[in-house]
Chains A and B, each alone.
Chain A
């Protein structure tokens, strides 16, 4: 194996390695399932297994020349396609990296390097909302060449749902390649949101579902990587629902001491804002969504977890099971200031807002409603404005 701390999905892996052993591996797979469940890690392990010179116990040896190149993502027959921001205009024949600024290229290189050492590292560039059609064109060109090392050519498409965003141009460009793949080539499309991919892609791939990670495995990963106290790790994994991307984000957001700072700051901003500054706050957040959607998602996720902590604290009065236990004073201050607040309602409003942001909803309007909902919930009133954007209100 090339990753020492990948949490294996045994059933899925057995299915894959049995197919490899029997020589009947499908030419295109769609790995789908919740975020942070290790789909990309398994895809890379499969690529390594296919090219490994001496596989052991159904996994790549991790020691041969091919495995060492796979482990650093430097194998010449490994092609990784990720969403890229379009900073420069591109001609039809331009390589996709021409769309990036030199700093973006360096960032991408660093992130791919990080991915090589951590299966749960999320390769995400600022402003990368779609997989560029030029990436698929380049893929078509290189796929026509004979493999560099004579083994399997492994093509991984991360965040594959972005093939179809904002238009299905890249997805359509991929169809012919998926339909008539070159020999000794395997495509693995990885996505958290398979429903956003067009049916034409689904029908050409073998679907394999990766459920959320089992608690014990995710906990072991967090403890070994971050040397976290087992109780803290329990709370973190439990709250992140086994999503190791999110757990890593929480842990990487700074020192353990500032954990929750983003949520606290955002909540303070929402509570303190004066009516005349309202528009500016909403615009700032909407702009953040356009430029760094992951950052806004992260802040909203933190806010939701913060509300979750407030709910736990208000119900139990105990500091146990708190994610932001080290910020208990701030939590208590919020409880004292808003004694009638419906924290569960506020948390649900944030969750609903987050899922709506992914759809074609006007972000400024959505954020305005979200702020109103949160403020209402904190006053002890229930007003499902955010949800009403998605579906018309039912009969009274």
Chain B
């Protein structure tokens, strides 16, 4: 195996793969990236057994072949090299030699056969989504994903591809986000998949300036192709809870408030809330809402009045300030609408002006206010 490549090309690919390479693993081979030179292209692959990534780059091939090299050492070497070309050659016993205009560097590789095989994905089932749209979906939902391993179905975002629309849902059982796009994605695939949030976070980086992204959905894996990058993930094998039934239908107390004003008030008041509970209370009345918090431990308190339009009986309701802040900050119109029922039931938050073709709704559970 021998090829010549621009240093910056190789360095860029190794940097990107670094997000997938596990920092600690019981399998030493996982700290390596697999380099395959074939048909005039060089592909680099990394995996943590849950997520796999392949980046294909241009290189001038002299001899085809495969070898696994330690990602970290390889990246360090390329980072310290000046701009220019370098030649990569595999010698006997997987000994890798890098040659530049300045010198030669040697590093021990591992046989490609030791590297985990690439997941097989049935490419017959595919959907195409606009890169910008997918990025927006991830941005609006991923924050609400649970980290609780006792509820593994909530550790990813549910992607529901339907005949007439596409829905993404995430929840950690305290808050829930439902994003609906009213056009079916191209490809004709209909089905539900829970995609791990770690994968979605890595994927977002590849969605900027990408027109269309293809989701190839297999039995156990999903592969997303974006330009020269292929990302694979294992699917979460759980049943997502029936989220539609938790949306309340009869929340009759309605609030309309300026989003920025509301958000900054929550941020300020929450500074004085209890460090453990982050509890703040909202008093909803004809003048809008009054935010307040008290922390007996640090003897601190705060209150602010935010102007708004409220329609309904007065209500006092408590929230975890962090959750409330997350919800408001992920809505993006100038005005936020919220619908309440009682101090112990879920409220719905959404943008007053929804973007064309989409519907973004967030649900937030209150916390019982201490007397």
Contact = CB atoms under 8 A, between A and B. Distances in A.
A125 to B, nearest CB: 12
B192 to A, nearest CB: 13
B149 A146 contact: no
B119 interface: yes
Interface stretch (B26-34, B133-141, B173-181, B299-307): B26-34
A182 B237 contact: yes
Contact of B28 (A109, A140, A147, A148): A109
Interface in B332-355: none
A347 B317 CA distance: 72
Interface stretch (A94-102, A201-209, A319-327): A94-102
Given A95-B24, A108-B26, A146-B219, A141 B234 contact: no
Name the residue among B25, B117, B149, B235 with the largest chain A CB count within 10 angstroms. Answer: B149
B24 A146 contact: no
Contacts of A138: 149
B152 interface: yes
B50 interface: yes
A183 interface: yes
Interface in A50-92: 65, 69, 72, 74, 76, 80
A144 B26 contact: no
A140 B150 CA distance: 7
Given A65-B117, A145-B50, A150 B219 contact: yes
B26 A109 contact: yes
B27 A109 contact: yes
A46 interface: no
A188 to B, nearest CB: 17
Given A76-B49, A93-B147, A140 B152 contact: yes
A60 to B, nearest CB: 18
Contacts of B220: 146-148, 150
A176 interface: yes
Interface string A329-353: 0000000000000000000000000
B328 interface: no
Name the residue among B26, B27, B119 with the largest chain A CB count within 10 angstroms. Answer: B26
Interface residues of B, number: 27
Contacts of A148: 49, 116, 119, 220, 234
A93 B197 CA distance: 14
A131 to B, nearest CB: 14
B153 A144 contact: yes
Contacts, number: 67
For chain B, what secondary structure do more than half of its interface residues adopt (helix, strand, loop), or is it mixed?
loop
A157 interface: no
A105 interface: yes
Interface string B225-268: 00000000011111000000000000000000000000000000
B155 interface: yes
Interface in B138-188: 147, 149-150, 152-153, 155
Given A144-B155, A144-B236, A74 B147 contact: no
A142 B26 contact: no
A141 B24 contact: no
B31 to A, nearest CB: 10
A65 B28 CA distance: 19
A148 B147 CA distance: 22
Contacts of B147: 93
Contact of B24 (A97, A140, A143): A97
Contact of B237 (A69, A72, A93, A146): A146
A238 interface: no
28 contacts: A72-B114, A74-B27, A74-B29, A74-B116, A95-B24, A97-B24, A97-B25, A109-B26, A109-B27, A140-B149, A140-B150, A140-B152, A141-B155, A142-B50, A143-B152, A144-B152, A144-B236, A144-B237, A145-B50, A145-B235, A145-B237, A146-B219, A146-B220, A146-B237, A147-B220, A147-B234, A148-B116, A148-B119
In the complex, the 8 A-B pairs of residues with the closest C-beta atoms, listed nearest first: A144-B152, A146-B220, A97-B24, A145-B234, A140-B149, A146-B237, A76-B49, A141-B149
Interface of A: 65, 69, 72, 74, 76, 80, 93, 95, 97-98, 100, 105, 108-109, 112, 137-138, 140-148, 150, 176, 182-183
